[in-house]
A and B are shown apart, each in its own frame.
Chain A
Amino acid sequence: MSGDMNGIWVFAEQRGGELHEVSLELLGKARELADEAGKKVTAILLGHDIRSLSQLLLNHGADSVLVGDDPRLKTYRLIPYARVMASLVHTYDPEILLMGATYMGVELAPRVAAKVRTGLSAHCIDLRLGEKGQLLQVVPGWGGGVIATIACPDHRPQMATVMPGIMKALSAIEREDTVKEIEIDLPEKGLGPEVLEVKREKPDQLPLEKAEVVVAGGWGIGSQEDWKMIESLAELFGGSVGATRPPVDEGWAEEGQMIGQSGKTVRPKLYIGIGISGVMHHVVGMDQSEHIITINSDPDAEIFDTSDVIVVEDFRKVVPKLIDEIRARLKK
Chain B
Amino acid sequence: MERIIVCLKPVPDPKQWDEVSMDPETQTLIREGIASVINPLDKHAIEAALSIQGVLGGEVVLLSMAPPSAASTLREGLAMGADRAVLLSDRMFAGSDTLATAHVLAAGCRWLGDNDLIICGNMSIDGSTAQVGSQLAELLDLPNIMHVIDLDLGEDGSMVVTRKIEHGFARLRGALPLVISVRKELNKPRYTSFTGILAAESKEIKVLSNEDLKISPEVIGIDGSPTKMAGIELRRFERAREKLDGSVDEIVESLAGRIYQYGII
Contact = CB atoms under 8 A, between A and B. Distances in A.
B233 A122 contact: no
Q: Which interface residue of A119, A306, A317 has the most chain B CB atoms within 10 A? A: A119
A3 interface: no
Interface in A180-212: 192-203, 212
Interface in A225-247: 237
Interface stretch (A33-41, A55-63, A66-74, A324-332): A324-332
B265 A329 contact: yes
B29 A146 contact: yes
Interface string A247-261: 000000000100001
A154 B244 contact: no
A78 B163 CA distance: 12
A19 B18 CA distance: 40
Contacts of A152: 226-228
Contacts of A109: 131, 134
Interface in B149-181: 160-161, 163-175, 178
Contact of A114 (B102, B145, B244, B249): B102
Interface in A99-140: 102-104, 106-111, 113-115, 117-123, 130, 136, 140
Contact of A120 (B98, B125, B170, B262): B98
A212 B264 contact: yes
B56 interface: no
Given A103-B166, A195-B170, A141 B128 contact: yes
Contacts of B264: 212-213, 237, 269-270
B220 to A, nearest CB: 13
Nearest to A18: B166
A192 B192 CA distance: 35
Interface residues of B, number: 77
Interface stretch (A45-53, A166-174, A286-294): A286-294
A39 B260 CA distance: 42
Contact of A149 (B139, B169, B230): B230
B91 interface: no
Given A270-B264, A305-B237, A317-B248, A150 B171 contact: no
B130 to A, nearest CB: 5
B49 interface: no
Given A119-B225, A198-B168, A291 B244 contact: no
B26 interface: no
Contact of B235 (A78, A145, A193): A145
B76 interface: no
A143 B14 contact: yes
A179 interface: no
A90 interface: no
Interface string A309-331: 11111000110011001100110
B135 A192 contact: no
Contacts of A108: 134
Contacts of B164: 103
A119 B173 contact: no
A111 B170 contact: no
A30 interface: no
A146 B161 CA distance: 35
Nearest to A304: B241
B255 interface: yes
Contacts of A198: 165, 168-171
Nearest to B240: A308
B230 A150 contact: yes
Q: How large is the interface on A (under 10, 10 to 19, 20 to 34, 35 or more residues)?
A: 35 or more
A196 B146 CA distance: 16
Given A119-B97, A291-B262, A317-B248, A305 B20 contact: no
B22 A326 contact: no
A111 B129 CA distance: 13
Contacts of B234: 145-146
B107 interface: no
B242 interface: yes
A85 B175 CA distance: 23
Contacts of B243: 304, 310-312
Given A103-B163, A114-B138, A307-B240, 16 more contacts: A20-B166, A107-B146, A145-B17, A149-B232, A150-B228, A150-B229, A193-B174, A193-B178, A196-B160, A198-B169, A199-B169, A308-B241, A313-B248, A318-B252, A325-B255, A330-B265
13 contacts: A110-B138, A111-B144, A120-B227, A130-B230, A145-B235, A150-B230, A192-B144, A193-B173, A195-B170, A200-B166, A270-B264, A291-B258, A304-B243
Interface of A: 15, 20, 78-79, 82, 102-104, 106-111, 113-115, 117-123, 130, 136, 140-155, 192-203, 212-213, 237, 256, 261, 269-270, 280, 283-284, 287, 290-293, 304-313, 317-318, 321-322, 325-326, 329-330
**6 tightest A-B CB contacts, nearest first:** A119-B226, A193-B174, A192-B143, A200-B168, A119-B227, A122-B129
